[in-house]
């Protein structure tokens, strides 16, 4: 099928985009379009207007400011994956970005798009939660900041308001003794994960797991990681039992335990 | 700020295979459809229209992207390369020749996008290993070959190119 007709707005800058969005309450923001355009092609989404921000270079920067890596909303997944500073300071974010979709999708899909679309099986919303990122939202009146953990409200649902655009995501650089691991399981490379996990480990045995693909959105849980493999598995299974997995509950919970263990092992190997 | 009303037609200029083409399109027209129907470049194939099959992949500023997941109006100001743009006036490109030699195609539906994605890969990594080839092409579905001969083709094209370089 083909998309239904829509009014197309191409602003010259972010201020223009925010003004246009306020003037079009039924409008949607078009960035990379890698989730929105498939929905429109099948007419599952029929926005009255599209405000195209994909060409706004002011949202494409990556900079390190005050101990945090600030990533512009229009940074493509492949750029995030390959960026040297991101690799050095947040290797787990670089690794996760490289697992989003396929190469051609990563060349166009954006960080802001992935976070606002909030697919429960997507890597980057979970990465934002795991890395305690802050989401920067703007409307025509100004900006506000929301911790990633409270930004995601459930299946395809976030705290963003109809007149807002996600403009940047700020990832604090973790302390030197904190390590991260990432693992996911998908039937084929590039498919959405059936389950995935980020493990964060402090200098002691304390830390957290952020799962994705196992319920309506990223699931972050704090715990002390038992040294004993059996005890660890039991601890992961106890946490996974809480998830509202929908279908295939037994299988999804088993996968949740498996990916958590894989991510834990990677974190132990010392990635950040 | 430019605004185009629903169903209104707008004139755009696309840079495709090094040539400027001025066409009239509705904003809702996908780049893939404009390439095929307005420019007559039918080597770009449309399969799933949801970004999964990869058949519509073209190069945008040298990088593989899905032409079914992009509106033509968004392609203004970018260099688009389709399979016609990497095919010599006569004969075959080295990658095309390698696909022929290794039986890297049967029905040919996925082939233009396989070639374009491989072109971009070899520009980025002139000597890829098998895993890199498989990763790069993992977003392009082929239902005929089982992929092995496609991987063989790309690896051979890379080997031939580096042999030439060495001479």
Q: Is residue B160 part of a domain?
A: yes
Q: Percent of chain B, pLDDT > 70?
A: 99
Name the β-bridge partners of A128: none
The model carries a pTM of: 0.96
Q: Is residue B127 part of a domain?
A: yes
Q: Is residue B143 part of a domain?
A: yes
SS (H, E, C) A176-188: CCCEEEEEEECCC
Cα first-last separation, chain B? 54
The domain boundary residue, chosen from B28, B58, B86: B86
Q: What is the CATH number of the domain that holds B148?
A: 1.10.150.120
Contacts of residue B117 in chain A, CB cutoff 8 Å? 103-104
Q: What is the CATH number of the domain that holds B79?
A: 3.10.20.30
Q: CA nearest A14 in B: which residue?
A: B1
With both helix axes pointing from N to C terminus, report the angle between B111-124 and B148-166 in degrees, rounded to the nearest 10.
40
Rounded CA separation A105/A190 (Å)? 9
Rounded CA separation B125/B127 (Å)? 5
Centroid of chain to Cα A1 = 29
Q: Domain check: are B20 and B62 in the same one?
A: yes
The domain boundary residue, chosen from B86, B117, B145: B86
pLDDT tens, residue order, chain A (272 aa):
899 999 999 999 999 999 999 999 999 999 999 999 999 999 999 999 999 999 999 999 999 999 999 999 999 999 999 999 999 999 999 999 999 999 999 999 999 999 999 999 999 999 999 999 999 999 999 999 999 999 999 999 999 999 999 999 999 999 989 999 999 999 887 888 999 999 999 988 899 999 999 999 999 999 999 999 999 999 999 999 999 998 899 999 999 999 999 999 999 987 55
The interface pTM score, or ipTM, of the predicted complex is: 0.96
* Contact map slice: B 146-165 vs A, CB within 8 A: none
Q: Which of A33, A55, A103 sits opposite B139 (nearest CB)?
A: A103
Rounded CA separation A111/B43 (Å)? 31
Q: Give the residue ranges of DSSP H helices in A45-122.
A: 77-82, 84-89, 91-97, 103-106, 111-117
A103/B64 Cβ within 8 A: yes
* Contact map slice: B 119-148 vs A, CB within 8 A: 135-136, 138-139
Q: Is residue B48 part of a domain?
A: yes
Q: Domain check: are B100 and B47 in the same one?
A: no
Q: Domain check: are B78 and B98 in the same one?
A: no
How many domains is chain B partitioned into structurally? Answer: 2
Q: Domain check: are B124 and B147 in the same one?
A: yes
Q: Domain check: are B115 and B145 in the same one?
A: yes
Q: Is residue B157 part of a domain?
A: yes
Both tokens of A253, joined, read 């919970």
Q: Domain check: are B71 and B134 in the same one?
A: no
Rounded CA separation A235/B114 (Å)? 45
Strands (E), chain A: 7-10, 27-30, 49-52, 62-65, 68-72, 134-139, 142-147, 152-154, 157-158, 165-172, 179-185, 195-201, 206-212, 219-224
Q: Which residue, among A171, A148, A170, has the nearest Cα to A160 in the 3D structure?
A: A148
In the three-class reduction of DSSP (H, G, I as helix; E, B as strand; rest coil), residue B54 is classed as: coil
Q: Is residue B147 part of a domain?
A: yes
* Contact map slice: B 71-90 vs A, CB within 8 A: 71, 73-74, 77
Q: Domain check: are B76 and B140 in the same one?
A: no
Q: What are the backbone dihedrals phi and psi of residue A166, each rounded to the nearest 5 degrees, phi first? A: -75, 120
Q: Is residue B101 part of a domain?
A: yes
pLDDT score, position A271: 55
A12: enclosing H helix or E strand: none
The domain boundary residue, chosen from B51, B86, B121: B86
Q: Which of A5, A9, A78 sits opposite B28 (nearest CB)?
A: A5
β-pairing, A68-72 vs A134-139, is unpaired
Q: Domain check: are B66 and B38 in the same one?
A: yes
Cα first-last separation, chain A? 44
Q: Domain check: are B60 and B107 in the same one?
A: no
What pLDDT digit, counting tens, does each position of B67-106 carry? 999 999 999 999 999 999 999 999 999 999 999 999 999 9
* A101 in Cβ contact with A123 (< 8 Å): no
Q: What residues make up the domain containing B74?
A: 10-86
Q: Which domains does chain A have, with CATH numbers?
A: 7-52 (3.30.43.10), 57-172 (3.30.465.10), 179-268 (3.30.390.50)
Q: Domain check: are B124 and B63 in the same one?
A: no
Q: Which of A3, A11, A50 sits opposite B1 (nearest CB)?
A: A11
* Range B50-88 burial, b when 16+ CB lie within 10 A, else e: ebbbbbbbbbbeebbbbbbbbbbbbbeebebbbbbbbbe
Rounded CA separation A214/A196 (Å)? 8
A/B interface, count of CB pairs below 8 Å: 112
């Amino acid at each position: 099928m083909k998309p239904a007709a829509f009014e197309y707005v191409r602003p010259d800058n972010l201020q223009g985009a925010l003004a246009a969005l306020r003037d079009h309450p039924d409008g949607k923001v078009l960035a990379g379009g890698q989730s929105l355009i498939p929905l429109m092609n099948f007419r599952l989404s029929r926005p009255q207007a599209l405000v195209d921000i994909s060409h706004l270079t002011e949202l494409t920067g990556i900079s390190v400011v005050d101990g945090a890596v600030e990533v512009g909303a229009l940074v493509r997944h492949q750029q995030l994956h390959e960026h040297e500073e991101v690799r050095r300071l947040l290797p787990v974010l670089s690794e996760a970005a490289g697992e989003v979709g396929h190469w051609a999708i990563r060349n166009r899909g954006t960080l802001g798009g992935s976070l606002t679309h909030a697919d429960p099986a997507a890597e980057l919303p979970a990465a934002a939660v795991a890395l305690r990122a802050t989401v920067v939202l703007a409307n025509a009146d100004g900006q506000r900041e929301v911790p990633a953990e409270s930004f995601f409200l459930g299946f395809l649902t976030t705290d963003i308001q109809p007149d807002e655009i996600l403009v940047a995501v700020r990832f604090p650089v973790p302390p030197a003794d904190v390590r991260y691991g990432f693992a996911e399981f998908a039937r084929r490379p590039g498919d959405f994960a059936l389950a995935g996990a980020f493990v964060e480990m402090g200098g002691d045995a304390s830390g957290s797991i952020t799962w994705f693909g196992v319920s309506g959105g990223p699931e972050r849980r704090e715990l002390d990681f038992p040294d004993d493999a059996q005890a660890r598995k039991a601890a992961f299974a106890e946490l996974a039992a809480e998830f509202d997995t929908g279908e295939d509950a037994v299988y999804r919970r088993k996968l949740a335990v498996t990916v958590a263990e894989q991510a834990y092992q990677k974190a132990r190997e010392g990635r950040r | 700020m430019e605004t185009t009303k629903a169903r209104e037609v707008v004139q755009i200029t696309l840079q495709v295979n090094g040539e400027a083409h001025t066409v009239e399109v509705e904003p809702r027209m996908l780049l893939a459809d404009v390439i095929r129907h307005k420019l007559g470049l039918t080597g770009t194939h449309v399969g799933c229209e949801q970004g999964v099959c990869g058949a519509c992949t073209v190069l945008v500023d040298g990088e593989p992207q899905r032409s079914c997941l992009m509106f033509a109006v968004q392609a203004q100001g970018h260099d688009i390369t389709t399979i016609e743009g990497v095919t010599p006036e006569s004969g075959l490109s080295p990658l095309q020749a390698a696909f022929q030699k290794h039986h890297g195609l049967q029905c040919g539906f996925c082939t233009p996008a396989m070639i374009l994605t491989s072109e971009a890969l070899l520009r980025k990594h002139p000597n890829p290993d098998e895993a890199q080839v498989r990763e790069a092409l993992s977003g392009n579905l082929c239902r005929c070959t089982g992929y092995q001969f496609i991987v063989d083709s790309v690896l051979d094209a890379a080997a031939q190119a580096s042999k030439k370089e060495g001479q």
